[in-house]
Amino acid sequence: MKLILLGAPGAGKGTVAKLLTAIDGSVQISTGDILRGAVQAGTELGKEAEGYMKRGDLVPDSLIMGIMENRLQEPDCEKGFLLDGFPRTIPQAEALKELLAKLGITLDMAVDIEVPRDVILDRLCTRRTCENADCQAIYNVKSNPTRQEGICDKCGSRVIQREDETEEAISHRLETYNEKTSPLIGFYEKEGLLISIEALNSDAVVNGVKEKLGL
């Protein structure tokens, strides 16, 4: 499947993407994970992106399009991909449309995951992430804690609260989402690709997607 996952930070895009990869081997492509990996590795990309990310601002479109142009041409994308956290602005969506046309790739749909703001806020404040750049498993202190406190179940690395998950950065990220990313819902509606799923748990979103794709 070739999907875009839309939705505010904390809507569950990453969790849904991980569940969908298990269905047909499509790969999850999270620009946030790629950028955090680059920051940790201290690459040029990471150095450029770090300040924006800490503040909860978007990284410039040109940097993101450079990442995506390369990533979408890697062989593992042939089975399908789940775009998680990209596109995030109208210029990114337009550039993606051009890039996909150039590569001869057709999207199945853009899935908007709708979750109420109070649920999002609560989730983001209680979310914890594995600090190992190759893992980045997501936990929640209330609903999905690690078996051993502070230690990732999957790889044994430390599980931390992300620097952009302080209350201040979270509210800034949500403002940025409303201003810059939510217009993508109208964009994909016009493209005839949008489906909206209102759901509080990721399994319900996955079932909605399967139903729409006839899986």
Residues of the shown chain interacting with ligand AMP in the complex, contacts defined by CB under 6 A = 9, 31-32, 35, 52-53, 56-59, 64, 85-88, 92, 164, 173
- What is d(CA 212, CA 112) in angstroms, rounded to the nearest whole number? 13
- Annotated active-site residue in 36, 88, 123, 128: 88
- Annotated active-site residue in 36, 123, 128, 162: 162
Q: If we measure between CA atoms, which residue out of 174, 181, 212, 214 comes closest to residue 194?
A: 212
- Let me know if 117 is a catalytic residue: no
Q: Closer CB to ligand AMP, residue 135 or residue 213? A: 135
Cβ-Cβ contacts under 8 Å for 103 (sequence gap 6 or more) = 72, 73
* Smallest separation (angstroms) from ligand AMP to the CB of 45: 11
- Let me know if 127 is a catalytic residue: yes
Q: Write the CA distances from 74 to 56, 71, 80, 184, integer angstroms.
A: 29, 5, 11, 26
Give, for 195, the enclosing helix (H) or strand (E). Answer: strand 194-198
* Smallest separation (angstroms) from ligand AMP to the CB of 91: 10
- Let me know if 173 is a catalytic residue: yes
* Smallest separation (angstroms) from ligand AMP to the CB of 99: 13
* Smallest separation (angstroms) from ligand AMP to the CB of 49: 7
- Under 8 Å between Cβ of 91 and 61: yes
Structure token pair of residue 42: 């201290």
Instruction: State which residue has the least CB distance to ligand AMP.
Output: 32
Cross-strand pairs, 3? 82, 109
- Annotated active-site residue in 36, 123, 127, 128: 127
Q: Closer CB to ligand AMP, residue 86 or residue 199? A: 86
Give, for 113, the enclosing helix (H) or strand (E). Answer: strand 109-114
Active site residues: 13, 88, 127, 162, 173
